[in-house]
Amino acid sequence: MQTSNSDLSYILNHLGEEREHYLQAVSPPIFQTSNFTFTDVAAMRNSLQDELNTPFYTRGCNPTVAILRKKVAALEQAEDALIFSSGSAAIASAVMSQVAQGDHIVCVSKPYSWTNKLLDKLLKRFGVQSSFINGTDPQHYANAIQPNTKILFLESPNSITFELQDIEAVVAIAKQHNLVTIIDNSYASPLFQQPIPMGVDLVTHSASKYLNGHSDIVAGVLCGSHEMIRQIFESEYMTLGGIISPHDAWLMIRGLRTLPLRMKHVSETTEKVVEYLEQHPKIEKVYYPFAKSFPQYDLAKKQMKRATGLFSIQIKAESIEEIERFCNRLNRFLLACSWGGHESLIFPMCVLYQSQNYRSTELPWNLVRMCIGLEEAEVLIRDLEQALE
Ligand SMILES: Cc1ncc(COP(=O)(O)O)c(C=O)c1O
């Protein structure tokens, strides 16, 4: 059997799965237990020496979750990983692990909305300030660094308008100033972008998206070095307790088995759908990192293997009502907020126009985000055709 961690099928089919411990079952058991028992006091004491890797209490280590940690770390080419109950929990733990009162963070200007809330509202209450910068030029990061800066935060691309940061250039700036880099890599998935080999310290994902891929769990991951992951485990992970359940970890292991197939299908189908929309007279603009018209196309090609299924369009419409009619007429795209699952989705930004939680005014009212699922391109194009009519 191939035993290399860089062999994708080995990672997804075998890595971490110690079948001899559970009757050679092909699919691992769900260790649905909070607690683990010991034959004697010495064994109990011994297991506490390494709570990250020894089953003692499921908030720390659970064997089903442990299998998942190994697979996720290998996919990102990281030394280790932690799995959380949501992407937001992973991001919050990563960020909080690197700052204390009086510190400062430089973050790209349009991160995921709850990342923005974390930096701009929650951490401010604890005396941590953040500067938000455009980030399309690495110099924006350099210019915003203060003596108390601790983190350069990236989200490349973001999940609505897809601006990128030059990851290697930002890492070089961080290293010059001895700062930690954290990236939200949810858009690309570890198959299409690997920030750790580019020098990024901590990589987060909303695993609710492509990693799980079936729209049936909410989960998050955090990847990094043995040392950083152990520090975060011993502090934020164990104290905040935002862990994944064994059952959800099992679902994610199952979802991961088909990650390469799903990503291949989604990126090929999306290219066809984007090509169709780019030439449609009712489409004003397409936001898609691998479109030739995308302002950062060259950078996207340089640091990402492929683009995924997420893109946005601006529709030539006279009113929000017209946008609503377009969305309501689609049959094969579900109106829903998340992305990265088997089903195609549509999320019109005009939905945010009454919400207090989102900085909606920055997004054009005629912007609509689409996520391509596992349907055939022709079916989706036909559906778009009739709705645009
Ligand atoms: C880019 C990005 N990062 C992070 C998150 C947060 O992930 P979760 O919903 O799993 O907490 C999301 C969720 O939509 C997202 O789109």
R_g of the chain, CA atoms, integer Å: 22
* Ligand 1, atom 8, residue with closest C-alpha: 87
Q: What is the pLDDT of residue 246?
A: 98
Is there a single domain that holds both residue 67 and residue 137?
Answer: yes
CA of 247 to the centre of ligand 1 (A): 20
Is there a single domain that holds both residue 273 and residue 229?
Answer: no
Residue of 84, 86, 113, 114 to mutate, ligand 1, most atoms within 8 A of C-beta: 114
Pick the atom of ligand 1 nearest to 219's CA: 10
Is there a single domain that holds both residue 203 and residue 238?
Answer: yes
Residue of 83, 85, 86, 88 to mutate, ligand 1, most atoms within 8 A of C-beta: 88
CA of 310 to the centre of ligand 1 (A): 13
Angle at 66 between CA 47 and CA 262, to 5 degrees: 180
Is there a single domain that holds both residue 336 and residue 323?
Answer: yes
CA of 156 to the centre of ligand 1 (A): 13
Report the predicted TM-score, pTM, of the whole model to 2 decimal places: 0.97
CA of 339 to the centre of ligand 1 (A): 9
CA of 220 to the centre of ligand 1 (A): 8
- Which of these three, 209, 234, 256, is where a domain ends? 256
Q: What is the pLDDT of residue 377?
A: 98
Distance (Å, rounded) from C-alpha 323 to C-alpha 345? 15
Pick the atom of ligand 1 nearest to 158's CA: 1
List pocket residues of ligand 1, CB cut-off 6 Å.
Answer: 86-88, 112, 159, 184, 186, 206, 208, 218, 220, 338
Q: What is the pLDDT of residue 352?
A: 86
Q: What is the pLDDT of residue 6?
A: 61
Number of domains making up the chain: 2
Is there a single domain that holds both residue 199 and residue 339?
Answer: no
Residue 27 falls inside a structural domain? yes
- List, for the chain, all residue ranges whose pLDDT scores fall below the cut of 70: 1-6, 355-361
Residue 376 falls inside a structural domain? yes
Is there a single domain that holds both residue 56 and residue 130?
Answer: yes
CA of 61 to the centre of ligand 1 (A): 24
Q: What is the pLDDT of residue 353?
A: 81
Residue 2 falls inside a structural domain? no
Q: What is the pLDDT of residue 356?
A: 58
Residue of 91, 107, 112, 203 to mutate, ligand 1, most atoms within 8 A of C-beta: 112
Is there a single domain that holds both residue 284 and residue 249?
Answer: no
Is there a single domain that holds both residue 195 and residue 264?
Answer: no
CA of 118 to the centre of ligand 1 (A): 13
Residue 87 falls inside a structural domain? yes
Is there a single domain that holds both residue 285 and residue 380?
Answer: yes
Q: What is the pLDDT of residue 115?
A: 98
Is there a single domain that holds both residue 327 and residue 382?
Answer: yes
Residue 252 falls inside a structural domain? yes
CA of 380 to the centre of ligand 1 (A): 25
Residue 1 falls inside a structural domain? no
Q: pLDDT tens digits, residue range 92-124? A: 999 999 999 999 999 999 899 999 999 999 999
Is there a single domain that holds both residue 15 and residue 118?
Answer: yes
- Which of these three, 231, 256, 281, is where a domain ends? 256
Is there a single domain that holds both residue 249 and residue 270?
Answer: no
Q: Which domain holds residue 82?
A: 8-256
3-state helix/strand/coil string of the chain: CCCCCCCHHHHHHCCCCCHHHCCCCCCCCCCCCCECCCCCHHHHHHHHHHCCCCCCECCCCCHHHHHHHHHHHHHCCCCEEEEECCHHHHHHHHHHCCCCCCCEEEEECCCCHHHHHHHHHHHHHHCCEEEEECCCCHHHHHHHCCCCEEEEEEECCCCCCCCCCCHHHHHHHHHHCCCEEEEECCCCHHHHCCCCCCCCCEEEEECCCCCCCCCCCCCEEEEECHHHHHHHHHHHHHHHCCECCHHHHHHHHHHHCCHHHHHHHHHHHHHHHHHHHHCCCCEEEEECCCCCCCCCHHHHHHHCCCCCCEEEEEECCCCHHHHHHHHHHCCCCEECCCCCCCCCEEEEHHHHHHCCCCCHHHCCCCEEEEECCCCCHHHHHHHHHHHHC
- Which of these three, 233, 256, 279, is where a domain ends? 256
